[in-house]
A and B are shown apart, each in its own frame.
Chain A
Amino acid sequence: MNEGKAPALRLAGITKRFGDLVANDSISLTLRSGEVLALLGENGAGKSTLVSILFGHYVADAGTIDVFGKLLPPGDPAAALAAGIGMVHQQFTLADNLSVQDNIVLGTQPLWSPAADRAGPRARLLATAEKFGLRVDPSARVASLSVGERQRVEILKALYRDARILILDEPTSVLTPQEAAALFATLARLVAGGLSIVFISHKLTEVLRVSDRIAVLRAGKLVATVDSARADASALAELMVGRTVRKPVARDHRRGERVCALTHVSVEDAEGARELDDVSLGIRAGEIVGIAGVSGNGQEALAELLSGLRSARAGTVTVAGNAMPADPRAWIAAGVARIPADRHSVGIVGDFSVWENAIAERYRTPFASAGLLRRSAARRYARALTDRFDVRGAGIDAPARALSGGNAQKLILGRALTGGFAHGDDFAPVLIVASQPTWGLDVGAVAYVQQRLLDASARGAAIVLISDDLDEILAIADRVAVIHAGRLTDARPTGAWTRAQIGLAMVGATQTDVVTA
């Protein structure tokens, strides 16, 4: 090795197969000392597999990993830790009921031994935090921390173990815009302090902003490595997807009457905790109202309420002027198209065939008479549906489980938007309740789903778009309301918000704070 100038990390020819799927195809990659390298790629491009191999969770079928010039033994997380690799997972790995210090120290020394030295680790922890400007209170319970603070604890946990290489897996997916900005500042300090960073993301803008170099993965292959300074967003998008992606286009159209109204609605969970608190919202025909917020702030309750799965503890919910009961059938019958957040376990029945899923919302009418399924009509409809909505990957008799995320979502979208052709070909939903409709989809499918929503709104559907992806909401919503701790702000025109204001509302700043921000 050339005297101390060895790269932080060198991957050579890493290949990993799962059955017929080649998740990583001979990937060679170098992380230079003191740089931020972004791993950019769509879901399923092989980013997570690569990182899991790096961290010893998987053993590569071929290839080697050098850390600071030394060969890393495969399949050994302890060795990866010892070599100085620290990992911040997308799902935090913290114990809620322990203090920050205990979480960080956990695994390096026994926690509950009466002889445990607590002052020493505390001092070391504070020194580390000081050095990188990461403010924490070591004795705070993790349960009381915000998401951004928890992420800071995760980073500190890695630093406490003397990590010299930090891997962050989709670190901004749970953060508000402000928290994300704070994270980027932290990363800059970490690099200044001598760390090397691998930043995994599928978001172009933040990758361009935070990284020195960008490695683009597509379908398990490394397709390009570019300097961030010389990269441009649309070229990167094409590299990532492998073809030109058309952005969804909104057509100009008139807004109509109010279709759906929530008036002082509260929803409680089984234990009586408020999940929605005095929420009021009106949605007019032809408009898209985006519900922004950090996940876990009542979005699920709102989506379930508007799908007929939950009942309101107080307040009223109306569609086209009629009060709606908590019965999915009533909502379907009222012409509400519902797209659930969990497409694989709620949206489809995995063990059912594609055609059975296609008619699942309307298996009584029109796809049955006298209690008997109208099999051939159902299959005809399913064929037309998969055709028109471009559902690929499985025939109508294959189990729906075989569909990829994007194709499953197209199936769900198709059956919701066509209404089983119950009213002939020109069925149009009056209201669409779309919950995380593009989460985890590849770029092509994202554009497809968004375009379909825009088209439906142009045809007069009122749309509630509940999404954790602020960019998506800003891109296609006409009005935006922010949800925090079950409370919903007024829905204001998208242009009337700044990102900073939305970020503040996402963490629960009051209306006046937000407007004056």
Chain B
Amino acid sequence: MRLEARAQYSRTALVVAPFAAIAFTLVVAMLLVAWAGAPIDETYALMFDGAFGSRFAWSETLTRATPLMLTGLSAAVAFRARLWNIGAEGQLYAGALAAVAVGGLHGGTGFDVPTYVLFPAMLAAAALAGALLLAIPTLLRTRMGVDEVVTTLLLNFIVLLFVSLMLDGPMKDPTALGWPQSVALRDELMLDKLIPRTRIHTGIVYAIGLAIALAFVLRATTFGFEARAVGASARAARFVGVPVTRTMMIVAMISGGLAGFAGAIEVAGRTGYVTLDMSPGYGYSGIVIAMLAGLSPIGVLVAAIFIAGVLVGADSMSRGVAVPTYIADVIVAVSLLSMLVAALFVRYRIRRA
């Protein structure tokens, strides 16, 4: 048995692949649910209900989807150019920290400027922090050929330790009764609620806007042409005069910037301050989302809502039947693996000998 490249693969197959991957994943998860001794139909019904079954469920899912959309976009744009940014998690924390540094350290040490200056400055600082964090591995990759998968992944742990240092040190909230959490953002910097009496905030508008903008940039601009060309074939791109290194750097700034922006949006939209557990792996889930979306920015929006639904639905389901919420992590992880296999089958077919 061997794999044979398909000369031409259909667009239908490209669209069907993620759905097939998800269907397969849900079947695998069924086995685990059955193993846990819970009724499969009831478990899935509860999960679906918890994710999409009510206005409240929808609002929770969309709230959870907001940072996932941004980290998904971060991964998608980087992967398009074959920059394997596995560091969105760290970039998100760096962005969150930068947001609080600009928008929270007031009363003596902070910046006393009007909100309409401070708010964009906060967002810009967050994006910049994420961008700079990814710039280092990207420079190492383009200059010295250092594998960015390793460097971006390991930077996540460094950033997390740095965050821990800041939360117990210079940025510690003196009123938090010893909990490691940062000082809070100024109230006027917090994002508005999109729907009253829910947690859903205007961050999702930013995320959707950025997805549309990114889709346009990739499709219609010369920079998008360059980024896609570098991803599809760096040698061919270089031959026709695409500045490969520069393109990679700009892609890195966008990708890291989006992840850093996600950090600011989480702080300003939900928590109001930075804690060490503010992200339950949003950066890593972003990779899954980008792959499920076939690296399409608009697809990222849909995939993010799906993954958010799994996470939120599992939380709610575990209160009803005896299946731990870890089933959500299993679904997310298996859907990535299934998607990779599905993508392989889009490009290759199996042949006997």
Contact = CB atoms under 8 A, between A and B. Distances in A.
B8 A398 contact: yes
B225 A373 contact: yes
Interface string A1-28: 0000000000000000011000000000
Interface in A164-190: none
B7 A327 contact: no
B222 A363 contact: yes
A371 B7 contact: no
6 contacts: A18-B4, A309-B239, A346-B233, A346-B235, A347-B239, A373-B220
B177 interface: no
A399 B238 CA distance: 19
A363 B225 contact: yes
Contacts of A401: 7-8
Given A328-B241, A402-B7, A348 B236 contact: yes
B228 interface: yes
Q: Tell me what chain B mostly uses at the interface: helix, strand, loop, or mixed.
A: helix
A375 B220 contact: yes
Give 3 nearest A-B pairs by CB, closest first.
Answer: A328-B241, A329-B241, A351-B232
Contacts of B222: 363-364, 368, 371-373
Interface string A456-498: 0000000000000000000000000000000000000000000
Given A328-B238, A340-B239, A368-B222, A352 B8 contact: no
Contacts of B225: 356, 363, 373
A481 B4 CA distance: 42
A59 to B, nearest CB: 6
Contacts of A364: 222
B229 A360 contact: yes
A12 to B, nearest CB: 21
A241 interface: no
B223 interface: yes
Residues of B in contact with A, size category: 20 to 34
B45 to A, nearest CB: 41
B241 A361 contact: yes
Contact of B239 (A307, A350, A351, A368): A307
Nearest to A368: B222
Given A350-B236, A351-B232, A373-B221, 12 more contacts: A58-B353, A307-B239, A308-B241, A329-B241, A332-B240, A342-B235, A345-B233, A352-B232, A361-B241, A372-B221, A373-B224, A398-B8
Contact of B236 (A18, A347, A368, A402): A347
Residues of A in contact with B, size category: 35 or more
Interface string B217-252: 000111111101100110111111100000000000
Contacts of B349: 19
Interface in A398-423: 398-399, 401-402
Q: Which of B225, B232, B241 has the most A CB atoms < 10 Å from its CB?
A: B241
B221 A371 contact: yes
A349 B237 contact: yes
Contacts of B229: 349, 352, 360
A121 interface: no
Contact of B220 (A349, A372, A402): A372
Nearest to A327: B241
Nearest to A369: B222
B351 to A, nearest CB: 8
Contacts of A347: 236, 239
Contacts of B221: 368, 371-373
A75 interface: yes
A263 B59 CA distance: 71
Given A59-B353, A351-B233, A352-B228, A399 B239 contact: no
A206 to B, nearest CB: 32
A251 B251 CA distance: 50
A59 B2 CA distance: 13
Nearest to B240: A360
Nearest to A415: B240
A346 B236 contact: yes
Contacts of B8: 398-399, 401-402
A309 B237 CA distance: 11
